[in-house]
Amino acid sequence: MNGRDDQFGTVGLTHMRILIIGELNVDLVLHNYQTFPALGQEVLVEDATLTLGSASAICAAGLARLGDEVTYVSKAGQDAWGDLCVEALNSLGVDTSQVTRDASVKTGITVSITSARDRALVTYLGSIAALRGSDVRTDLFRGFDHLHVSSFFLQQGLRPDVKKLLRSAHGQGLSTSLDPGFDPDDKWERDLVDALDEVDVFLPNEVELSRMTGTDDVEPGLRKLANRRTLIMAKLGASGCAAIDSSGAFLAAPGFKVDAVDTTGAGDSFNAGFLHAWLRKVPLKAAMRFACACGALSTLKAGGTGSQADEGQAQEFLSRQGVTA
């Protein structure tokens, strides 16, 4: 990979091939609830959208939008929801030749009850839990620069083999990243921390970091997970992000104020922006700001992929915010 200047520019742009092993599901997004639903009550929302979901797929779409070459490994049902997912990824420039269609499972679905402030999720796993490590041919890793895995806890069939797959990727010269997603059982078992031995970039959000480490303070939480190998990047929503760099220094980048329409997938678009910059050896603070821009811009339309930025749009946004490096 080629190095980059302190400025995040297009000069010397390196072509990157990224492999993502992830889940596929549709999102039913219910927009702008009047009050949040409670048992025995009915509430109204302003709009509803059925669209491509899954943290991994939204990240893949974001990377493709930024100009990276992305191949997706997954399993979906032989059903209309699976058709929607695969067709959407194809239309967004993601290679789906490694997506298996399985008539014995239903494609998963997540209901996202969302507002400009935050969202709550209800998920039927279906095919999300069906992909297994044995379904992933490690000879696929050849020719790729990076392997990304999201939704560690939701991908129940893949989870026991995640560390082994990451190790195999490292053995073939790829860098690796992992976004844990939330643990629906709220157990945060040790196998996630163990997997960090084979992770170059770990991308939890603030809640996930707190649950894993038992502290609500971001810097102590980051330091608690430090293993002298993994860059641990905490996504802090509207507050931006924070990390511990290779020297042990704490770095923070503020978020950007936008008129958010839907926060669904904002963290996954952040992931795409950060990996796009980090893989090109952009200095860490600049990569963090670029990622924050990608996350913020993704909230301007409904759904996780409806407002993802290309590199020029993210750079223009940063320029308008007065960020030049």
3-state SS of 166-228? HHHHHHCCCEEEEECCCCCCCCCCHHHHHHHHHCCEECCEHHHHHHHHCCCCHHHHHHHHCCC
Answer whether residue 7 is part of any domain. Answer: no
Q: Tell whether the model's pLDDT for residue 6 goes beyond 50.
A: no
Which DSSP helix (H) or strand (E) runs through 28?
strand 25-33
Answer whether residue 245 is part of any domain. Answer: yes
Residues 166-197 have pLDDT tens digits of 999 999 999 999 999 999 999 999 999 999 99
The proportion of the chain whose per-residue pLDDT surpasses 70, expressed as a percent, equals 94
Place 10 in a pLDDT band, splitting at 50, 70 and 90. Answer: very low
Long-range CB pairs of 212-216, under 8 A, 24+ apart, other chains included: 212/180, 212/188
Could you give the 3-state DSSP secondary structure of residue 107?
coil
Tell me what the mean pLDDT of segment 74-94 comes to. Answer: 97
pLDDT at residue 246 in the model: 77
The range of the structural domain enclosing residue 274 comes to 17-319
Residues 248-280 have pLDDT tens digits of 889 999 999 999 887 888 999 999 999 999 999
Please state, in angstroms and as integers, the Cα–Cα distance from residue 320 to each residue in 102, 109, 257, 315, following that order: 47, 37, 12, 9
Tell me what the mean pLDDT of segment 7-19 comes to. Answer: 66
Calculate the CA 253 to chain-centre distance: 18
Dist CA 68 CA 16 (whole Å):
5
Q: Tell whether the model's pLDDT for residue 1 goes beyond 50.
A: no
Answer whether residue 238 is part of any domain. Answer: yes
Dist CA 121 CA 12 (whole Å):
40
Answer whether residue 102 is part of any domain. Answer: yes
Answer whether residue 3 is part of any domain. Answer: no
Structure tokens at 77: 């049902």
Answer whether residue 259 is part of any domain. Answer: yes
- pTM equals 0.92
Q: Structural domain tally of the chain?
A: 1
CATH number at residue 137: 3.40.1190.20
Answer whether residue 4 is part of any domain. Answer: no
Residues 100-137 have pLDDT tens digits of 999 999 999 999 887 766 778 899 999 999 999 999 99
Residues 268-312 have pLDDT tens digits of 999 999 999 999 999 999 999 999 999 999 999 877 898 999 999
What number of CA atoms fall less than 13 Å from residue 103's CA on the CB side? 0
pLDDT at residue 116 in the model: 67
Answer whether residue 240 is part of any domain. Answer: yes
Tell me what the mean pLDDT of segment 55-72 comes to. Answer: 97
For tokens 């889940």, the residue is 23
pLDDT at residue 13 in the model: 57
H-state helical runs in the chain: 55-66, 80-91, 162-171, 190-195, 206-213, 218-225, 266-278, 284-297, 311-320
